[in-house]
């Protein structure tokens, strides 16, 4: 079998760099190129790959079509992870969020179409479920988006479907549910809850919980998301293509329980402080992952507690 040449957009970011590591270890892969503008990603996330002659770093922005076209040249498969994440940031900066997530993704899909790339796997989001009260969340039952970020991720799915039908583009969209793990940045105004908890414990100060802490999420360790990407990139099932899948564990954990688990792992007796509820946040989010299991043979290998233990080891070493 010919080894595949793969482009990872956003490959210097959190999920992207974990995926690159797995791809370079995969015998089906001959070459990995990363396209990243380093606005959210970091060069230190890809430092370990730079000496590998099967790896290439291409610094550039997905908002520029010619840059994306150049990055897609001679590529077999595209993993599109680049995005401007964070619901609060999208509320503060809707124009930038739209530019990156919608225009940038449209550039990627168009380059895939124009160059005849075999398949694109893209990062979708559980935020697409919006105000839907259904639980667990099933791919075919969504509500209205409740943040600019959610709108952009929904638009990506709509464009993928239209490009599939009009141009024959082959795609798979992965709706991530609250992915966490090593290399997730705890710094900056829009850091996610788990790295913020880790940072607080390592620095020995009380973490902040928005609202009462009873809001729940289907927290997903990054290695589970990486597994899903590999399955999506390499599946040979035609009926698995041009579909959207939930990627999670299928278990719900409240933010308070999450902190309790982490405090126990860390041996910390710090008590959290509570602040106001964040605008645009959904109250509960739990995934039905049966579709991904059936079509992609996705089976999450890490429970939340195992992922937290692995992640805390990394943060303790990285930020102490």
H or E element: which one contains 78? strand 77-80
CA angle 143, 254, 315 (to 5 degrees): 110
Q: Can you tell me the distance from the alpha carbon of 17 to that of 38, in angstroms, rounded to the nearest whole number?
A: 12
Domain residue extents for the chain: 4-181+220-249+287-301
Among residues 262, 259, 255, 250, the alpha carbon closest in space to that of 310 is found at 262
Q: Can you tell me the distance from the alpha carbon of 230 to that of 195, in angstroms, rounded to the nearest whole number?
A: 25
Distances (CA, A) of 71 to 60, 166, 228, 262, 287: 9, 23, 23, 40, 34
Q: Which of 149, 245, 295, 315 is catalytic?
A: 149
DSSP of 232-256: HHH---GGGSSEEEEES-S--EEHH
Q: Can you tell me the distance from the alpha carbon of 2 to that of 19, in angstroms, rounded to the nearest whole number?
A: 20
Per-residue pLDDT of the chain (320 residues; tens, 9 = 90+): 799 999 999 999 999 999 999 999 999 999 999 999 999 999 999 999 999 999 999 999 999 999 999 999 999 999 999 999 888 899 999 999 999 999 999 999 999 999 999 999 999 999 999 999 999 999 999 999 999 999 999 999 999 999 999 999 999 999 999 999 999 988 766 668 898 999 999 899 999 999 999 999 999 999 999 999 999 999 999 999 999 999 999 999 999 999 999 999 999 999 999 999 887 777 888 999 999 999 999 999 999 999 999 999 998 886 54
Among residues 95, 100, 58, the alpha carbon closest in space to that of 78 is found at 58
Question: Helix or strand or coil: residue 4?
Answer: strand
Q: Is the pTM of the predicted complex or chain greater than 0.85?
A: yes
Q: Classify domain 4-181+220-249+287-301 at the CATH topology level.
A: Rossmann fold (3.40.50)
Q: Is 297 in contact with 230 (CB distance < 8 Å)? A: no
167 is catalytic: no
């Amino acid at each position: 079998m010919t080894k595949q040449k793969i482009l990872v957009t956003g490959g210097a970011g959190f999920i992207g760099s974990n995926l690159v590591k797995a791809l370079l270890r995969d015998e089906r892969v001959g070459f990995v190129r990363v396209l990243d503008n380093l606005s959210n990603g970091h060069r230190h996330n890809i430092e370990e790959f730079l000496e590998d002659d099967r790896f290439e770093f291409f610094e550039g922005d997905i908002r520029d079509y010619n840059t994306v076209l150049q990055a897609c040249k001679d590529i077999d498969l595209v993993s599109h992870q680049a995005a401007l994440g964070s619901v609060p940031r999208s509320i503060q900066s809707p124009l930038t969020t739209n530019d990156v997530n919608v225009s940038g993704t449209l550039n990627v899909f168009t380059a895939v179409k124009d160059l005849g790339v075999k398949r694109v796997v893209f990062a979708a989001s559980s935020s697409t479920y919006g105000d839907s009260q259904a639980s667990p969340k099933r791919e075919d039952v969504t509500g209205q988006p409740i943040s600019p970020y959610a709108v952009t991720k929904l638009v990506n799915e709509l464009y993928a479907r239209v490009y599939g039908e009009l141009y024959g583009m082959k795609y798979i969209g992965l709706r991530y549910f609250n992915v966490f793990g090593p290399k997730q940045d705890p710094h900056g105004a829009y850091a996610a809850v788990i790295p913020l908890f880790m940072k607080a414990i390592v620095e020995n100060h009380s973490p902040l919980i928005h609202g009462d802490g009873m809001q729940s999420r289907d927290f997903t360790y990054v290695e589970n998301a990486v597994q899903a990407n590999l399955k999506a990139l390499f599946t040979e099932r035609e009926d698995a293509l041009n579909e959207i899948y939930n990627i999670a564990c299928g278990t719900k954990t409240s933010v308070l329980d999450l902190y309790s688990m982490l405090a126990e792992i860390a041996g910390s007796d710090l008590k959290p402080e509570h602040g106001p509820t964040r605008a645009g946040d959904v109250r509960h989010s739990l995934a039905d992952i049966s579709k991904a299991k059936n079509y992609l043979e996705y089976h999450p290998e890490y429970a939340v507690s195992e992922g937290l233990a692995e992640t805390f080891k990394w943060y303790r070493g990285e930020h102490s």
